[in-house]
Amino acid sequence: MNSKLRSQLPILLIDDDPVVLEIHVTALESEGIENVLTLTDSRKTVQFLEANPVALIILDLMMPHVSGQELLPVLIRDFPHIPVIVMTSSEDIETAVCCIKTGAVDYLIKPVEIERLLLSVENALRVTELSQENRSLREYLLNDRLEHPAAFDAIITTSKKLRAIFKYIEVVAKSDQPILVTGETGVGKELIARAIGTLSGRKGAFVTVNAAGLDDNMFSDTLFGHKKGAFTGADQPRDGLISTAAGGTLFLDEIGDLNEASQIKLLRLIQEQEFYPVGSDVLKKTDARLIVATNRDLSSLIDSSKFRKDLYYRLCAHQIQIPPLRERREDIPALLDHFLEKASRSLNKPKPALSREVTALLSTYHFEGNVRELYAMVSDAVARYSSGLLTLDCFVGLSGNESSLAHAEQMEPSREVDEALYRLFGRFPTIKEMEDYLTASAMSLTSGNQRSAAQLLGIARQTLSKRLGIPA
């Protein structure tokens, strides 16, 4: 098997042969599933399931009293949420097809190879986990409440987009599958990862590793540790951070910067939940949950052969895309207030009030560095502030030169702003520019007839004449 099997609920084996049951129970327990239940009398199945929730049923077809073929449609009808694997000593293809059509997830021929059994169980458990998450996600989306809002206290937001992400996180946080967090620099990927770690319920530590700039040797030593004498200077053995994260969460940031050799080692870690410390031939196991993040486009890296496709598929079992600040501008006022408070407290200054020009400009600024850029900008402005209103003079990146203001005017418009204005003017127009444009358009549409143009504009003809500089 590639990895230890995991199941919160027990697995139920139904077979009239106690020897077969013992063999299969031993096989499952060897792969980490300690909660395995058995039944030798198929007549008790329905009553048993009504009293005991299970994750999976492994059903023998050839049994006395009530055969598996008779029992299977009952299980599919009355317990559709429980996947069923059927086993039989018959190699009849028609029987196999009939069972699959009835609703069985797999069909095994006795005597069953243990590897084949374990693979079938692993696939069925994954389907069950995804099904449960989908049901939970649907339930969350149908109501507008968070079960654990305190887990997101560190994230300042009023955005509906982020709230939807929070709901999704509450559903997948307890999953054992890796989570891929993507988004531009400064959007808050680590805060999201920490919220997942909090909600996961894991008792171990939350450990962060930044993969940027790590060559393969540094990556291996940082994650997996080394034994004494593994390389020059390795005077003492050292546990890696994957061991530090035992029972907890390992957050691997900047995953898009990993080289090919490190990607292969990470893939093995995910598949096998095992690793070798540098210089050691002693295999170690890990139960740390993995969260990875990147600001790079992994699809483009895959196309250019810089990122392994198989690793990507392993990492994106659950994927969270954090929108940039320019796509959730409703967060800017709350973030501004929070950062002003934080910077003022840090610098031991009174919290200043923002001038209208600063508020207006920041509300339409592009913020390529997102929340991190906004925080840096506000912190520096508060440091320069002395008294009165916090004006543009304190914002070095925004004030003092026309190019900064032009950048703010020519930036990509938010979705709330009419994009037609930007197509017409290339930036947000002034009121005077809008008046001139509407006046010229009205005169053009009416072939210069002032009375008709004034009616289109909703103003008096005399007012239009004044704007055109024509005597009334």
Domain map (residue ranges) of the chain: 11-137, 149-323, 326-410, 430-468
Share of the chain above pLDDT 90, in %: 37
pLDDT in tens, 147-199: 899 999 999 998 989 998 998 999 899 988 999 999 999 999 999 999 999 99
**Bridge-partner residues for 404, per DSSP?**
none
Lowest mean pLDDT among 134-148, 231-245, 430-444: 134-148
What is the Cα–Cα distance from 324 to 373, expressed in whole angstroms? 12
| Yes or no: domain 326-410 corresponds to CATH 1.10.8.60 | yes
**SS3 category, 407:** helix
Residue 414, pLDDT above cutoff 70: no
Q: What pLDDT digit, counting tens, does each position of 307-317 carry? A: 999 999 999 88
Q: Where are the alpha helices (DSSP H) in 285-418?
A: 298-303, 309-315, 332-347, 356-362, 370-384, 402-410
CATH code for 430-468?
Answer: 1.10.10
Hey, which CATH number is domain 11-137, 3.40.630.10, 3.30.420.40, 3.40.50.2300, 3.40.50.300?
Answer: 3.40.50.2300
Alpha-carbon distance 45 to 169, whole Å? 36
Burial 170-203 (b: 16+ CB within 10 A, else e): bbbbbbebbbbbbbbebbbbbbbbbbbbbbbebe
Q: Which helix (H) or strand (E) holds 425?
A: helix 419-425
**If you classify domain 149-323 with CATH, what class do you get?**
alpha beta
Residue at 397: amino acid letter: G
pTM: 0.61
Contact 95, 51 (CB under 8 A): no
Domains 11-137 and 149-323 are alike in CATH topology: yes
Total residue length of the chain: 472
Range with the largest mean pLDDT of 122-136, 269-283, 355-369: 269-283
Query: What's the rounded Cα separation, in Å, for the pair 98 and 229?
Result: 61
